[in-house]
Structures are given as structure tokens and as C-alpha cells.
Amino acid sequence: MEQSELSALLTAEGLRMVDEIGPLASTAEVAAAVSRLRSAGHSPDLVSAVVGQAHLRVRAAAKFGPFADRMLFTRAGLEQATRLEVAARHAGRFRDAGLTRVADLGCGVGGDALGLAGIGLEVLAVDADETTAALAAYNLAPFGESVTVRHGRAEDTDLSGIDAVWLDPARRTAGHSETSRTRAEDWSPSLEWAFDLAERMPVGIKLGPGLDRGLIPDGLEAQWISVDGSTIELVLWSRELRRDGIRRAALVIRGGTAHEVTASADSEDEPVRDLGAFVHEPEGAVIRARMIGEVARELQAGMLSEGLAYLTSDAALTSPFVQSFRVREVMPMKVPTINAALRSNGIGTIEIKKRGVDVDPAQFRRKLVLRGDESATLILTRIGAKQRVAILADRV
């Protein structure tokens, strides 16, 4: 968003128009709205800002629910914002630790600060980008004096009177629309600065789930989070925000319901065993946290193959930490053999999953003959070092 667009948007007329125009979900709706507003004599900057916000609010509903209807966004800010249900859980950790004044450094459009303020905490929200800070100020305005928003760098923020910090380092190039990931040494603030702060006061640090585990300092709690099948973030917790005896955690949220598996260290995998009646695929947070063994023991399961995140068992058990499949048939990973099995089972709809084999599921699907009313899952994987197999299965 350009500064001229922001200036046009943050006026009584601009905000009224955003509220009145309603949701714009499709490209056709956006184009029609642009044409209508331009014909009414509104400036290009105002039209661009208003229509852009109406479109972003539709996309934001997945993260912010009904709150999205009164918030303002940049495209990059929305993509990087924490989902409100996750932000609320993070905020609860600060409250439960008795920490009431929190600085949100790198606040973006205010998603995490919204969670903090929403449970009654005092918040100092800071962002290095002037436009983003202005939008955060608008989004957090309903909380009145309990929230202060500033434009500035995390490293330059005076933390006097602050009990704890929530820190979201900038891990992408600057900008409000198209951005790209940067190397860890280019993050702002740097990991070194963040880890030094975490030694001195209670800090939660939001990072990408694929962070090199070797960079995680000893003594911090590392919590990986998956929401509705997507692994979205890693949070490192220090001092009072760190839970006693826990150094690894996988939080899995599906349909608004949360489950967590924790341990004092990485979990040792269970041994490899023969393919059983069930195959289980651990959630991404469980895999990243290296808690597969912990989950396997709950399921009375073993590894399907060494180094692959598939479990197998004969026990009719499942858990929130896996997707479970009942095995119908196992066969060589050969297209004619698979097609014969699909035909004999009357399968017209197939879900393809794969691990440990060099296969493009989209290209592989084009080779399959799908006819019939039945549906199933096809798991392409390997057993042992070389045996490539296709497992026809049903979701449990």
C-alpha cells in the first residue's frame, strides 16, 4: 500500500466506503467495484485503497473471523499475521505467568496484540514499517489506553516497565504486497539479539517452523504449531513463559479444538515393523518437534520405514496427532497394477499421499483411471531401503 493510498483510506470518507462496499471475493466483483467507484468520481488512490481492503477482509476472515470486518490490512501483513485463535493461546501463556504488560515487537497489523489486549493485558505494539504501524493503530484502537502503538525498531524500543516481550522478527523482504524469505542472518531484529533478550526477560519468539534446530538455544521451550493440517509456526519461550520440564511441544489445532504432546527432549522413534492394518501420518508439528516416537507409543505403532514419517499398527487406535488410514490393499508402485486395483474397487475419487519416493502426485494422478462411486486414499511410499509400494487405504 502506497502512502497516498493510506492517507486516502484513513479518512472518514475512506473508512465509511470500506464498511459500505461490503465483501469483494472474486476478481469480477473487484473489477465491478473499481468501475463503479471511479465512475462516481472518486480518486484512483481512494478507489484502490477501498477496494483492496474489501478484498483483503474476505481473505482475512479465515484468520480473524468476524473481527476482520473492522480491520485494515496490507497483503503482506495479512499473510504474515498470526491467526486469532493461535494468538489468543499465546496471550494466555503471558496471563497465566502473571505477566500483565507486554511489548509486541514487530507487531505487523496487530494480530498478536489483538490476542493480548483481548484478555486484558496492557500492550506496547511496535513496528518498523510506518504504514503497517498506522494500520495496527487503527485495528487496536477499540482497546483504548490499554494499547499503545509506535512506529520504530524493536532494538530501539525502551522496555522500561515492560514485564515480557512477544517478538516476531521480520523474516521476509520489506514491502506491503510481494515479499520473499530472507536468510536467518538478515532477519530484523537478528536471532542473536532476540536470544540475548530472551536470557534477560520472559520472551516468546515467533519463527518459521522449518528453523534449523541447531540454532535453538538450550533452555528454551520449542513449541511447533499445526492448524487444520498446516504447520504454521515455531515459538520459542524463555524464563517464566517456559513450562517446567518441557523443552519440546507439538500443538495441534483442528476445527478450533487443541491438543498438545510435550516432552523434555526429542522423542526416540519406535523400531520399524511390518505393515499392519493401519497407517498413520503424524501432523507436521509432531514431525518438526521430533515427537513421532511419543505418538507411536500411544498408538501401539512402529515406523513403517526408517527415516519416514509414517507409522503402522494393527491396533484400531487413532489420535489428534495423526491422520489414520485403514489399509485395503498393498501392491507394487506400478501404474497398471494400481489401475487394476482402482477398477476392481470401483474407485472414482482418489486422494494421493507420498513420502520417501520421487513422485509428483499431480502428474501421477493423470496416469490413473478413475471410474466409480467409491473414494479412497493412495499412499505412495517405500518399505525398507528400496521397496516402493502403493497402499490403497480408507481414512479412519
What is residue 5's predicted lDDT score, i.e. its pLDDT? 86
Co-location of 219 and 83 in the same domain: yes
Contacts of 1 (CB under 8 A, 6+ apart): 9, 49, 52, 74, 131, 176
Query: What mean pLDDT value characterizes the chain?
Result: 93
Instruction: Indicate whether 388 belongs to any domain.
Output: yes
Omega of the bond prior to 169 within 30 degrees of 0, cis? no
Per-residue pLDDT tens over the stretch 68-78: 999 999 998 99
Contacts of 290 (CB under 8 A, 6+ apart): 248, 266, 267
Cα 101 from Cα 122, distance rounded (Å): 5
Q: Would you say the C-alpha torsion 76, 82, 85, 88 has a positive or negative sign?
A: negative
Higher-pLDDT residue of 181 and 324 is 324
Co-location of 94 and 179 in the same domain: yes
Co-location of 86 and 47 in the same domain: no
Co-location of 255 and 122 in the same domain: yes
Q: What is the domain count for the chain?
A: 3
Co-location of 158 and 250 in the same domain: yes
Co-location of 61 and 105 in the same domain: no
Co-location of 103 and 248 in the same domain: yes
354 forms bridges with which residues in the sheet? 380
Domain range for 376: 278-395
Residue 218: C-alpha distances to residues 38, 214, 237 (Å): 58, 10, 11
211 pLDDT above the threshold of 60: yes
Asked whether the whole model's pTM tops 0.85, one would answer yes
204 forms bridges with which residues in the sheet? 166, 237
Per-residue pLDDT tens over the stretch 330-355: 999 999 999 999 999 999 999 999 99
Co-location of 243 and 376 in the same domain: no
148 forms bridges with which residues in the sheet? 124
Co-location of 209 and 310 in the same domain: no
174 band by pLDDT with thresholds 50, 70 and 90? low
Co-location of 151 and 191 in the same domain: yes
Instruction: Indicate whether 227 belongs to any domain.
Output: yes
Phi-psi region of 329 (alpha: psi -120 to 50; beta: other; left: phi over 0): beta
225 band by pLDDT with thresholds 50, 70 and 90? very high
What is residue 172's predicted lDDT score, i.e. its pLDDT? 60
User: What is the full DSSP assignment across 151-196?
Assistant: ES-GGG---TT--EEEE--B-B-S-SS---B--GGG-BS-HHHHHH
**Residue type at 107?**
C
Contacts of 164 (CB under 8 A, 6+ apart): 94, 97, 99, 101, 102, 103, 201, 202, 203, 204, 240, 241
Q: Which residue has the cell 494393527?
A: 314
Domain end position, chosen among 263, 294, 313: 263
Co-location of 237 and 189 in the same domain: yes
Q: Which residue has the cell 494422478?
A: 365
**pLDDT-wise least confident of 45-59, 181-195, 213-227, 332-346:** 181-195
